[in-house]
Chain A
Amino acid sequence: MHNFDFAKPSTIADAARALAAEGAQALSGGQTLIPTMKQRLAAPSVLVSLTGIKEMQGVCLGEGGLHVGAATPHAVVAKEARAHYPALADLAGGIGDPSVRSRGTIGGSIANNDPAACYPSAVLASGATVVTNKRRIAADDYFQGLFTTALEAGEIVTSVIFPIPQKAAYVKFNQPASRFALTGVFVAKFASGVRVAVTGAGNDGVFRWAEAERALSADFSASALSGLSVDPAGMNSDLHGSAEYRANLVKVLTGRAVTAAG
């Protein structure tokens, strides 16, 4: 790790100012950034911690659904979202291990947009709104490919607002080493229809499986998927699974998520 300066502002405005400095980098739970810095693959000159900002912490019901502060650790979401949005709590409670869950945050996860992270699938399947210090971004506009989002330089995710579905479930199949999602499927059934978001599998990051959404909106049962197939052409392929294997997982896990959602 190279030397760096450290700032821990207590307001969003102060954080935005600190991030305007040359070489500044936002730090939330640090579960990706710190290991990257230890390997000397990243060397920001200033780290601006967002975990001291009270208004970015916690889970509460509010306008538009469940508001989750961007600096809320996974373990807190797993606990506090349980009564309101159990599928989201399940997802948060299944990320990494206890130490990752006590440090890592939802804002950090979706700002990084790792293609194998869990949270992007919940945000996209829920049709959530990503709130920043500048604007509100619909989930469908927010995720723009591998490690790429609609965020501008210095823009800070402050919270995520999740509309609460009638039924939902997240089913993840672990990559055997990292235990990130080799493929994870979040299914959310709203009065207006079903949304299905897939993480881990796509070669351009999290995506919605439109065919399945149509089929499940008409008939919310695993058997509704039987005639569908996923094109391997859009799937990622690596040491732990071919594109064909991931395409299969998308379908299998979607069916299991529908069954789990009840």
Chain B
Amino acid sequence: MPKDHGIGASSKRREDVRFLTGRGVYTDDMALHGQTYAVFVRSTVAHGRIKSIKTANAAGMPGVLAVFTGEDFKDVGGNPAGWLINSRDGTPMREPKRPVLAYSKVRHVGDAYAAVVAETYAQARDAAEQLAADSEIEELPAIIDMKAAVADPSNRVHDEIPDNLCFDWGWIEDNRAAVDAAMKAAPHVVTLELVNNRLVPNAMEPRASIGEYNPGTGDYKLTTTSQNPHLTRLLVAAFVLGIPENKLQVVAPDVGGGFGSKIYHYGEEALVLAAAKKLGRPVRWTAERSESFLTDAHGRDHVTKIELGCTKDGQILAIRTETLANVGAYLSNFSTATPTFLHGTLMAGPYKVPHVYVNVKTVFTNTAPVDAYRGAGRPEATYSLERVIDKMCRELNLDPFEVRRKNLLTPDQFPYTTPVGLVYDTGNYQATLDRVMAMADVAGFEKRAAESKKRGKLRGMGLSTWIEACGIAPSHLVGVLGSRVGLYDAATVRVNATGNISVMTGAHSHGQGHETVFAQIVAEKLGIPESSVEIVHGDTAKIPFGMGSYGSRSLAVCGTAMAKAVDKIIAKGKKIAAHMLEASEGDITFENGKFQVAGTDKAKTFGEIAFSAYVPHNYPLETLEPGLEETAFYDPANFTYPAGAYICEVEVDEGTGKVDVVAFHCADDFGNVMNPMIVEGQVHGGVGQGIGQALCEFTAYDETGQLLTGSYMDYPMPRAEDVPFYNVDYSCQTPCTHNPLGVKGCGEAGAIGSPPAVVNAVIDALHRGGHTHVTHIDMPVSPSRVWSAING
């Protein structure tokens, strides 16, 4: 009988009541007295020198209250990169300043170099157009292609960086010689060059920010679309504007999706705050969808050569990769960690590979900044690895299932130290492989393929086995690796006098369902109804200092902090109960919401204890503080390592090249599962995004740096008809060994594991159709690319 309450129950998402009935409150929904509107003036050229900006005309237009240019911010700080990466030679990465508004140069189409604030949106827009017309920008040659960027020292995105190279990173540099030797000695070497396509995040809610300033108190307030309000406050306060942290409140209310793009601080947030201070009135801005395409941090964009050395029977001996990773025009907050420590450290996959070496050169170009996007580095690693293994199987005529099985780590090998610096704590990769093969009825494939053939379609099957490192992240470790912040999280559990509970979390929910799942956990631990637990998040004035939501971390890190805070509540409750029941603390048990003297029927309910804590008439005040509220910070001891195996089946239409995903099976190990329905939803969403990357989405800049896929007319988002009904399983559970909930995280899994399964399936279908000359097709595996590959 499935549970209907607490941990493991598929409790319905309480937040959906407001989301589905139009009662969510998003930043753009908030109307404020005296509000004004900001519109940004954005570069229409990819690379240019700002010669002059004449503000007088715009400033004199109806309703215009203020005009800002880069000049106004040239003396304040820049928006920093969160990770310092050192190059192979030990030199630190090149770190150009990222100003609030572009100053002296514009560096990508959409780069904001001025802003207008007016009484109405239309007035601000009109004045911004005037300002654009009154700006003289000398267009410079655009730097778009990464290989050309590093080859031509005469053309620079940042004048002070001669080769457009941010860093040249080797992981692990000391292993390089051994890897080279192993590769040289390998009986067979498979080489694959591939592109991990650049993606636009496309959160349903565009970015939006409202700045407020109270001249009476000197307090600032920023309401913004953020995945982590405390981090945004820290960046704005300590790095960019120099506002004292205690005078700045950051609120991230309901947020309609982020997928990474709303982790980061953006210049628009600083502008609305500075403008609010200047005007003493609220200043608001909401991105148009075109601005989202041009300025939200994009994802992926790697060009990789991967080599795999193996025996003739498919034992992997060595892996070596060389990657060019695009960071775009400026370093976004996590942009230097994504292609390095979230990518190179996963290059051994779930396999026992003795020798791995990863080289990543990160390149500045005149394109939008690139940063973490659902999966962040791990999808890139998984895609490279699973595609090259698939190619190995074809070259050596080996069974892809058996090759995976032969190379997967076995349960007795944990904890396992990889050659790329991680320690996998636990897993059972054979179990998920067995499970997905059963789910997919691998044995029945030939029959299905014959049926497809009757309908004129080529059917193919693709496999990927994947692992990720999430539950981000142990601070001591990331500190060694270059992180400039800690990555713990925090929660406060406040028991109210009437016994119900408010939980303030550092994690931010922008679609994940924290308000439901976190309440389930607290309810389970305290033996109270879920409806008695309220989850408060997204407001720095209410919540403890946490690091927000990304990297499948909320449950594993913030959830653990919350569980630890609940444990403190129970411990204090026992002290209160001991006093009230005149027993010793050690004799008090807590179960099903009751504090009881062991072996007796003497007991107090949780509600009675809470009331006593706030009305302490009969209370050990000399030894115990009144009240019942506890905070815990939790810093994980290790990453968590969800893993799984995916099988995709496709049908290919040879006439048009169109690929249809006809079946998708996921067997994942997420450790313990708190809410199966929400886990399934996360996998559905992740796989949907993965299929989108594999088949549909791409971001094209032309040679002058114009974004060709800057709207939904040309940027292909996956739609319902592009995805199948998913077959999702999470019954293989090896609980995480280092957090008390035994959870690993599931938010990014689908987006990590699915793209190679899709592409492997397409290649399989083509080979079965006799098109054996096709060894690889870069994503997106669009109809025209498939047709060209067949007929190429």
Contacts and interface: CB of A to CB of B under 8 A. Distances in A.
Contacts of A242: 784, 788
Given A239-B700, A239-B709, A177 B787 contact: no
Interface of B: 122, 125, 129, 290, 655-658, 696, 700, 708-709, 712-717, 782-784, 787-788, 791
Interface string A226-249: 000000000000011110110011
Given A39-B290, A40-B125, A239-B708, 15 more contacts: A176-B696, A176-B716, A176-B782, A176-B783, A177-B709, A177-B717, A178-B714, A239-B714, A240-B782, A242-B788, A245-B657, A248-B787, A252-B655, A252-B656, A253-B656
B677 to A, nearest CB: 28
A249 B656 contact: yes
Contact of A178 (B129, B696, B712, B787): B712
A209 interface: no
A244 B708 CA distance: 21
A130 B714 CA distance: 31
A244 B122 CA distance: 45
Interface SS of B by simple majority? loop
Interface in A137-190: 173, 176-178
Contacts of A239: 700, 708-709, 714
A224 B122 CA distance: 59
B352 to A, nearest CB: 40
B784 A173 contact: no
Given A173-B656, A177-B709, A252-B656, A240 B715 contact: no
Nearest to B126: A2
A248 B782 CA distance: 15
Counting chain B CB atoms within 10 Å of each CB, which of A40, A176, A239, A244 scores highest?
A176
Interface of A: 3, 39-40, 173, 176-178, 239-242, 244-245, 248-249, 252-253, 256
B720 to A, nearest CB: 11
Contacts of B122: 3
B717 A245 contact: no
Nearest to A39: B290
B157 to A, nearest CB: 25
A110 B555 CA distance: 55
Given A240-B784, A242-B788, A245-B788, A178 B656 contact: no
Contacts of B125: 40
Nearest to B714: A177
B115 to A, nearest CB: 18
B713 A177 contact: yes
Contacts of B655: 248, 252, 256
In the A-B complex, the 6 residue pairs with the smallest Cβ-Cβ separation, listed nearest first, are A176-B716, A177-B716, A252-B655, A241-B784, A178-B713, A245-B784
A194 to B, nearest CB: 21
Contacts of B784: 240-242, 245
Nearest to A241: B784
Contacts of A245: 657, 783-784, 787-788
B755 to A, nearest CB: 16
Contacts of B787: 245, 248
A48 B655 CA distance: 45
15 contacts: A40-B129, A177-B696, A178-B712, A239-B708, A239-B709, A240-B784, A241-B783, A241-B784, A245-B657, A248-B655, A248-B787, A248-B791, A249-B656, A252-B655, A252-B656
Nearest to A183: B656
A67 to B, nearest CB: 32
